[in-house]
Amino acid sequence: MSGADTIVQVLADEGVETIFGYSGGAILPTFDAVFRYNEHHKTDDADPMPLIVPANEQGAAFMASGYARATGRVGVVIVTSGPGATNCVTSVRDCMADSIPIVVICGQVATGSIGTDAFQEAPVSAIMGSVAKHVFLVTEPERLESTMRSAFEIARTGRPGPVVIDVPKDVQNWTGSFQGEGLLSMPGHLHRLEVMRKNVLDDERCKEFFGHLANSKRPLIYVGGGVVNAEASDLMRELALTYEIPVVSTLMGLGSFDTTHDLSLSMLGMHGAAFANYAVDDCDLLIAIGARFDDRVAGDPPKFAPSAKYVLHFDIDPSEIHKVKPADWFHIGRLRDALEALLAYGRRNSISLEHTAWLEEIAELKTTYAMNYDRDTALIQPNYVIETINKITRGEAIITTGVGQHQMWAAQYFDFRRPRLWLTSGSMGTMGFGLPAAIGAQFACPDRLVIDVDGDASIRMNLGELETVTTYNLPVKIVVLNNFGDGMVMQWQRMFFKGRLSGSEKSLRKKNFIKAAEADGFEYAKRLERKDDVPRVIEEFLAFEGPAFLEVIIDPEASVYPMVPPGLSYRDMVTGDFIPNRYDGGDGTQPGASEMF
């Protein structure tokens, strides 16, 4: 086989069903190999491994990310050298920050030309090495096949992440034997995996865990995206239900526990529900599962969960233990194995716990400090829009977002009945993520309702992907909450910079989103401006059979509440005019300038 055919055959062997990519000179042999593979294996006029072409390479990598987030499988991107590769840098870093497995295959100039500043050459290894889980530069063609297989193994095992393979054009054109198996020698990686596999909870460690739980009157599970990545949500739910432990979730953990369940407190943190944050303040035992005490959650770490006598921490990555918040008991290993061991120990020893008084307190918190907003204004409130969509979708739709206020409103007001329904850029916070991620998710789940809830500023970043939606006739539903500016930045500027809207207020721009959507082939493209029309138009919009675009003109000064100012504790949470605040605004501490955003 040629090197290019080898690349494509390994993709097929790995079960890849969809490729996202953009062509160019240095990757042409591989693109041609994809074409020939699909022609040869076509059934019923369907390509076995369709190649989806976006508007640009960042969009391709975000599509692969959306695909991976929606399925748990490795997303695949193929791009050319130079700008093709560098356009993927943001997406690769985004996947690394959220532990998302993708493989990016980049073309590269011929081996003999590397380092000569050849046309469309870029130092991919140097650039990507600092943002990816691993990077390969293939200079020995005989190692191409094993490198490809190793890339998938590294991307999906341990803590998942993005792997980049830089393949010079002469390596793609090389011809040699195809082995059909084999990995590179990866002793360090394989050793770490073996340590994780062997590091299981024995009876003594399980006894310690249940000893802490038995001595607790107000236990709380704090769950993060690691539970979703580990496919361990079902076991975490069983633990919570069996021992009556309420659950709070990070932004990335939403959906790991059914948000409609009585034990769910939904999202905690900077823009978490007030009742969730107050439960964290009140708990006497905090059980962190696949969560990393991110600054958007912990705020002021010493004051996070101040009443907790013990912090118990589960994670697959040893670097997360004690990194932000010291743990009194911890386990480093595979989450499914650990949770299975705990549940089995509890059954063998007939452990039965009840926390009736604590659950009554939780119910009272959820009632007293419920999410709320101005329901009487004539202006359309974004919360109302999302509530209305949620009444129809009932926590079953796949929701993607860009980054900003709309992202937080979506996290606050949507329900998620199961994992992998909530796809958002968490740690990296990348504007422009929502639309391409929705495309990737729709390819991954063609029979599911996929909705991109976006902002006017965020969707501009990858607006070209509107055409990708209609090119492939994807029934993606796109909602743009338009407040004519960078809403989250403006909120911070109003709160912390005396209202100086420097570079964030875009009301003078003349972007007509409806005409843009129509120009890209959307048969349904409407603007919603009247509050009374919200229920009717949203029902009509969601029921439309093909691609649909809805722009909603919202209150330009709507803010996201609750909000914990950066670097501060939950006592300093600002709840706005419509959610009670039991601390009455905290002690007046202001965030330091270096902690902003």
Both structure tokens of 129: 């090495």
- Note the pTM of the prediction, 2 decimals: 0.96
Q: β-strand 75-79 against 102-108: which pairing, if any?
A: parallel
State yes or no: pLDDT of 508 exceeds 60: no
Instruction: Report residue 176: phi and psi, to 5°.
Output: -165, -175
pLDDT at residue 491, as a whole number: 87
For 3-189, the fitting CATH number among 3.40.50.2300, 3.30.70.260, 3.40.630.40, 3.40.50.970 is: 3.40.50.970
Identify the three-state secondary structure at position 595. helix
- The answer to whether the CB of 162 falls within 8 A of the CB of 100 is yes
- Judge whether residue 9 has pLDDT over 80: yes
382-553 matches 3-189 in CATH topology: yes
- What does the pLDDT average to over 405-410? 97
User: Residue 546: what are its φ and ψ, rounded to 5°?
Assistant: -105, -160
CA distance 44 to 39: 11
Per-residue pLDDT, 510: 80
CA 3 to chain centre: 33
Which of 240-254, 329-343, 497-511, 574-588 has the lowest average pLDDT?
497-511
Question: What is the C-alpha separation between 294 and 247, in angstroms, rounded?
Answer: 17
Residues 6+ apart with CB under 8 A from 133: 96, 154, 155, 160, 161, 162, 163
Q: In this model, does residue 509 exceed pLDDT 80?
A: no
For domain 382-553, give the CATH number.
3.40.50.970
- Residues 424 and 404: their CA atoms lie apart, in Å, by 11
Residues 6+ apart with CB under 8 A from 516: 463, 466
CA 392/CA 539 separation, integer angstroms: 8
- 64: which DSSP letter? H
Would you give the DSSP letter of residue 10?
H
pLDDT top residue among 38 and 494: 38
Q: Can you state the angle between helices 405-413 and 382-393, rounded to 10 degrees? A: 40
End-to-end CA distance of the chain: 51
What amino acid positions are annotated as catalytic residues? 57, 119-120, 169, 488
Distance CA(244)–CA(554), nearest Å, equals 40
Residue with tokens 């599970």: 221
Q: What's the whole-number mean pLDDT along residues 181-186?
A: 94
Average pLDDT over residues 548-563: 96
- Over range 224-253, report the average pLDDT: 97
Does domain 199-368 match CATH 3.40.50.1220? yes
Tokens 């007509």 locate to 512
Domain boundaries, the chain: 3-189, 199-368, 382-553
Residue 588 has what pLDDT? Answer: 59
Interval 416-425 mean pLDDT? 98
Cα separation of 56 and 42, whole Å? 27
Provide the pLDDT confidence category of residue 593 given band limits of 50, 70 and 90. low
Cα separation, 123 vs 130, whole angstroms:
12
Query: How does pLDDT run across 115-170, given as a tens digit for each residue?
Result: 999 999 999 999 999 999 999 999 999 999 999 999 999 999 999 999 999 999 99
Q: State the pLDDT at residue 585.
A: 57
Residue entry with tokens 């009157």: 217
How far apart are the C-alpha atoms of 492 and 596, rounded to whole Å?
9
| Mean pLDDT computed over every residue of the chain | 95
Q: Cis peptide leading into 475, omega within 30 of 0?
A: no
State the DSSP code for 138: -
Mean pLDDT of 472-497: 92
